[in-house]
Amino acid sequence: MRKMIYFILMGIILAGCQNDTQTNEQPAKDTGVEEQVTGDTEENNDKDLKDKDSEQTENTEENEEESIDNEETPAEAEKEEAPNADKPANNQTDQETGEPEKQTEPENSPANENKLTVVEDPNSIELVVNKQRKLPDGYKPPDLVEPNVSFYASEGDPKRLMRKEAAAALEELFAGAKQSGLDFVAVSGYRSYDRQKVIYENNVANNGQAHADKYSARPGTSEHQTGLAMDVASAALVSVLEPSFIQTDEGKWLAENAHQYGFVIRYLEGKEHITGYSYEPWHIRFVGKENAAEIYEQQLTLEEFFGLYP
């Protein structure tokens, strides 16, 4: 009986121990779950942080590339600020080709003198010489004579000479002005190549290249060398070879009547971009009465009349 009670008690005790053991092990199991969940969360957080950092890095790189693409270079800024800036010099290079950029020479520069068109028939009264067209080297008109008019230059001066046909027409013009009560004086007619060279170089030395090219012709391109041109002035105001000459009675008469004698005002006001020279109301050029009448009526330059202006 005692043995039976002993075994019963032992059974109860063992059963209680097993329950305690199971109860103590359960939290450990729960803790394991928490640890596993926590581990996954940290791993996922690390992954999220890495992805976020990677995304931010990619976005940053994209923004930097976009910033570089849109960045305005100093050259582009300068171009926008000064769209009419001068072209770069010859030692600069083209950014696209890497080749040196070509610098355009001024149309009347020494480098372009050999590129000028040479007049084919320098003896024609319809010839045109200007900054793009020159007389043949060594040309001298074959029929220079001295018209019977009043001159400012002393006797024997080549400036008193003109080609024969133009000289006769000048005599008629002076006579016509005389009938209107006006007195002209011939100032400067024919000039040789050498004489024009001296005039041009003196102008450059005294006034600079830009001024010289505006008011004086390079040797070989001057109308005076053709023997068909003459500078005229009022006998009372010989020194007035300037735009104000048009304000004198002689200047007004000349502008309105020169064409009747075969002459035109060679360098018209407002046509400087065509002729290349400033307005010269005193400079007349012989082209023949028929041509002169048409040129006067249409108020054209020789370049426009003969189709030599683009």
Per-residue pLDDT reduced to its tens digit, 39-88? 343 444 444 434 444 444 444 333 333 332 333 333 333 333 333 333 33
Pick the catalytic residue: 223, 250, 280, 303?
280
Domain termination residue (choose one: 53, 71, 96): 53
Based on the domain organization, do 255 and 164 belong to the same domain? yes
Contacts of 288 (CB under 8 A, 6+ apart): 125, 126, 262
- Same domain, yes or no: 26 and 169: no
Domain co-membership, 148 together with 285 = yes
298 shares a domain with 151: yes
Q: Looking at the 3D structure of the chain, how many domains does it have? A: 2
The structure tokens 């040196």 sit at 100
Using one digit for the tens of pLDDT, what is the confidence trace for 104-147? 334 444 444 568 999 999 999 999 999 999 999 989 999 999 99
Answer yes or no: is 89 within a domain: no
Residue 192 lies in a domain: yes
First to last CA, the chain: 143
HEC states along the chain? Answer: CHHHHHHHHHHHHHHHHHHHHHHHHHHHHHHHHHHHHHHHHHHHHHHHHHHHHHHHHHHHHHHHHHHHHHCCCHHHHHHHHCCCCCCCCCCCECCCCCCECCCCCCCCCHHHHHHCEECCCCCCCCCCCCCCEECCCCCCCCCEECCCCCECCCCCCHHHCEEHHHHHHHHHHHHHHHHCCCCEEEEECCCCHHHHHHHHHHHHHHHCHHHHHHHCCCCCCCHHHHCCEEEEEECCECCCCCHHHHHCHHHHHHHHHHHHHCEEEEECCCCHHHHCCCCEEEEEEECCHHHHHHHHHHCCCHHHHCCCCC
297 and 187 belong to one structural domain = yes
Distance CA 56, CA 159 (A): 87
Q: Domain with 270 in it: what CATH number?
A: 3.30.1380.10
pLDDT score, position 115: 84
Task: Print the domain residue range for 33.
Answer: 2-53
Q: Are 161 and 144 in contact (CB under 8 A)?
A: yes
Sorted by sequence, the CB contacts under 8 Å of residue 66 that are 6+ apart come out as: none
Q: Do 130 and 10 share a structural domain?
A: no
Q: Is 120 a catalytic residue?
A: no
Both 34 and 143 in one domain: the answer is no
The mean pLDDT of 238-247, rounded to a whole number, is 85
Q: Is residue 271 part of a domain?
A: yes
Does residue 249 lie in a domain region?
yes
What pLDDT does residue 1 have? Answer: 54
Q: What percent of the chain has pLDDT over 90?
A: 56
Shared domain for 216 and 136, answered yes or no, is yes
- pLDDT, residue 309, reads 76
Residue of higher predicted confidence among 37 and 159: 159
Indicate whether 188 belongs to any domain.
yes
* pTM for this prediction: 0.64
Q: Tell me, yes or no, whether 240 and 123 share the same domain.
A: yes
Structural domain contains residue 88: no
Average pLDDT, the chain: 75
Q: Could you give the angle at which helices 249-257 and 164-179 cross, rounded to 10 degrees? A: 120
Q: What is the pLDDT of residue 237?
A: 84
